[in-house]
Amino acid sequence: MKTVGLVVEYNPFHNGHLYHLTKSKEQTKADVVIAVMSGSFLQRGEPALVSKWQRTNMALAGGVDILVELPYYYSVQKAQTFAEGAIRILNTLSVDTVCFGSESGDITSFYELHEFMTTHKEEWDNEVKKEMSKGLSYPKAASNAFTTLTNESKPLLSLAEPNNILGFHYVEALHKWSKTMRAETILRTKAQYHDEEIQDTQIASATSIRKALFEHESFDQIRTVLPQTSYEQLLTYGKEFHVFHDWEAYFPLLQYQVLSSSVAKLEQIYECEEGLEYRLKETIKRASSFKEWMHLLKTKRYTWSRLQRLATHVLTQTTKTEMSQLLKDGPLPYIRLLGMSQKGQAYLSSIKKDLDTPLISRLAEAKGFAATHDERISNVYKMALPPEIRAQSLYDEYKQIPIRGH
Amino acid sequence: MKTVGLVVEYNPFHNGHLYHLTKSKEQTKADVVIAVMSGSFLQRGEPALVSKWQRTNMALAGGVDILVELPYYYSVQKAQTFAEGAIRILNTLSVDTVCFGSESGDITSFYELHEFMTTHKEEWDNEVKKEMSKGLSYPKAASNAFTTLTNESKPLLSLAEPNNILGFHYVEALHKWSKTMRAETILRTKAQYHDEEIQDTQIASATSIRKALFEHESFDQIRTVLPQTSYEQLLTYGKEFHVFHDWEAYFPLLQYQVLSSSVAKLEQIYECEEGLEYRLKETIKRASSFKEWMHLLKTKRYTWSRLQRLATHVLTQTTKTEMSQLLKDGPLPYIRLLGMSQKGQAYLSSIKKDLDTPLISRLAEAKGFAATHDERISNVYKMALPPEIRAQSLYDEYKQIPIRGH
């Protein structure tokens, strides 16, 4: 069976995702669609709108055959590490082709850029260092360095576009981790990643959908831009758990954590560098919301996402030592299966005997620190649920089994 | 000027406290009343109902001349350490007589008991050890050991009574820390420490008053058992901050802290002994309230207060290392002044030049780890305030100056 791999967050799964999924399957002539999805916390350092189980239901209804989790230690990371984790998992599951959406739409440009970057590694590194010494954030410095390096040749690819950057790192990770997997890309249409308002009646960005839910509390506004199952799953989650997860729901916990931690303890948190622990302490006292705090915290030196990821690591108390233990080389500790269709199940049976990594169905099957940390992350995510529901939900996580699609 | 010292929590200041204060002044013929009061968290491991500032107002109106804070590292401790801290502070302020309420009412019995315990120290220690090896809590073991040791002589003092126990430790601390201070005691009348319902129309226990506020939300019920100022301060606090502090208000933070902390981190918390870190983790997932959690956590081995104090240290992330730094020998880092009358101010001026410990008026004047920890404790206490009020209140703590009475 021919397989296509997708790297997704589905926050939530909308018509744009459905389009990408369908196109990817067509273009690669795949029989089986395998998606690796960020779990509770996402690449930009935010909690997922609804739990991974609701998002798994959405994905299965949309045509994904196998859903596995991108664990926290890869999902809440800069693009390069995020991409590495996703590619490692897809490669472990013997995926033939990874297919990502991009602003470019031309896979050749990604391979060429990777080639160019490999051969110009030293100049590139120097250029980035020079730009960063001006006080710029890494992405901004990288983008400037890229412009300088390529301005005499034709610009191979715009690295100012978020999906192009991710795509570049997928190709880079392929070279590092896989001998056989290939990359393809689909041109992203219409809704841009950062669109804040719903512009179209069919396709809208996930950002604008979340905004419609939080700010306008409008289910009507999002009905037309979501597949039926996504719409229903959102409705169900809201009714059952009385919450959609955003940073504001966690702000009291975060504020409490920063205020009650010693400076020495904050300094041990992953991504807490260059004295940021003092800045965290000083600014959090003055904020009465997450948004307000981020505005107090932000400097030119760090991107919004970088600071949100730091906030996530503070919230989950993930330390530098823990992260290096989780990211250490060697085989992945396990892959957690979230859902599968009948076809997906057949595929997994066929590759099972060659798998060098445990594929687990329940958290209780997992062992070691990765499992302990995994449970911690789920537990912290559930702190946004109302207290009377929380205890039951904390318990359920342990016995939750993968969702079966058709 | 003759001074009497009181060790208080005033949670809240009620007619029973007023009676004790007036009687203490009469009996000792003191001109100046100096009280050392637990700040944000109390000896039984609970948050104070309202902030120390409101309780300072109540105390000044009740006739206290000088109010200073018993810092967290002494206030959230077993009776012995609590008493040591209080006596050290009163002694530093050159108090002549400490006067405490007791179920006994006879100061001679306290001195005699102390004498007896000093001369029977070894037998006593062995007896306590024997009782504890049966799995009993320290207070229960101590009480049994005491009965065994004294059952042939006349029982000097019942150590089953909470205020007698505290009294005993005051006398013990006097012997250790002061050359000049004496102890006296006032017989406690009517309301018992543990009374849960208001029994009398004038005198009620603080426990029953808090219960009336939390469970019956009744201001009418408490009006007659509180001095006017106490009643008004409670009313004002409720109106301004929309909360009275009890453990339930902090339970989400505590649950989050236990869930997000590694077992290794919990083990570093002060008073987390004998594998309690695993028990904390295992039980907190199943609880949806603090009360429910305490019932899951409780064993014969630990008293309710001991476990509540542990919960407080988890909430404030106070580690064993930090506590031993705070409790280290040598002079107290500082004494924080909370309020004073004109007479109190005159007294302080008269002793100022002989003080070997800084007497600070604002947190900003304090230095070193004690000050950092002090601020942490205030900040954590304020996490129960509504978010829109919290930021302002966090800021205010720094510039808050002592309250002036008449």
The pLDDT of residue B100 is 96
Q: What is the DSSP string of B25-76?
A: HHHHT-SEEEEEEE-SB-TTS-B-SS-HHHHHHHHHHHT-SEEEEE-HHHHS
- How large a percentage of chain A has pLDDT more than 90? 66
Residue A292, marked binder:
no
In a domain, B63, yes or no: no
For B284, the domain range is 252-325
The pLDDT of residue B142 is 79
Tally of domains within chain A: 2
pLDDT bracket for residue A196 (50, 70, 90): low
Please name every residue paired with A404 in a beta bridge, in sequence order, or none if there are none. A340
Question: Residue B101 CB: number of other CB atoms within 10 A?
Answer: 25
The pLDDT of residue B125 is 87
Q: How far is CA B347 from CA A61, A125, B5, B310, in A?
A: 78, 69, 13, 38
> 3-state class of A97 per DSSP?
strand
In a domain, B103, yes or no: no
**Final residue in a domain of this structure, among B117, B137, B160:** B160
Q: How far is CA B164 from CA A279, B33, B167, B192, in A?
A: 48, 22, 5, 12
In a domain, B148, yes or no: yes
In a domain, A154, yes or no: yes
The pLDDT of residue B327 is 93
Name the packing angle between helices A290-297 and A304-315 (round to 10°): 120
In a domain, B287, yes or no: yes
Name the minimum distance, in Å, from the CA of B371 to any CA of chain A. 12
Is B260 in contact with A316 (Cβ distance < 8 A)? yes
Name chain A contacts of B376, Cβ cutoff 8 Å.
259-260, 262
- Asked whether residue A291 carries a pLDDT value surpassing 60, the answer given is yes
Question: A150: burial class by Cβ within 10 Å (0-12, 13-18, 19+)?
Answer: middle
**Final residue in a domain of this structure, among A123, A139, A160:** A160
Residue B100, marked binder:
no
In a domain, A321, yes or no: yes
Name chain B contacts of A387, Cβ cutoff 8 Å.
251-252, 288-289
Residue A194, marked binder:
no
Give the residue ranges of chain B where pLDDT is below 70.
151-156, 190-200, 216
In a domain, A127, yes or no: yes
Which residue did the predictor score with more confidence, A193 or A330? A330
**Final residue in a domain of this structure, among B325, B358, B384:** B325
The pLDDT of residue A155 is 63
DSSP A319: B
Using CB atoms, pick whichever of B261, B288, B372 lies closest to residue A317.
B261
- Encoded tokens for B145: 């050991």
What's the rounded Cα separation, in Å, for the pair A189 and A168?
19
Q: Which residues, 6+ apart, have CB-to-CB distance to A192 below 8 Å?
A: A205
What's the rounded Cα separation, in Å, for the pair A370 and A182?
29
Question: What b/e sequence results for B150-176 when a residue is b if at least 16 CB atoms lie within 10 Å of its CB, and e otherwise?
Answer: beeeeebbebebbbbbbbbbbbbbbee
Please state the ipTM of this predicted complex: 0.90
What's the rounded Cα separation, in Å, for the pair B54 and B230?
8
First-to-last alpha carbon distance for chain A, in angstroms, is 18
- Asked whether residue A197 carries a pLDDT value surpassing 80, the answer given is no
Name chain A contacts of B381, Cβ cutoff 8 Å.
none
Question: What b/e sequence results for B5-15 when a residue is b if at least 16 CB atoms lie within 10 Å of its CB, and e otherwise?
Answer: bbbbbbbbbbb
In a domain, A45, yes or no: no
Nearest residue on chain A to B251, judged by CA atoms? A387
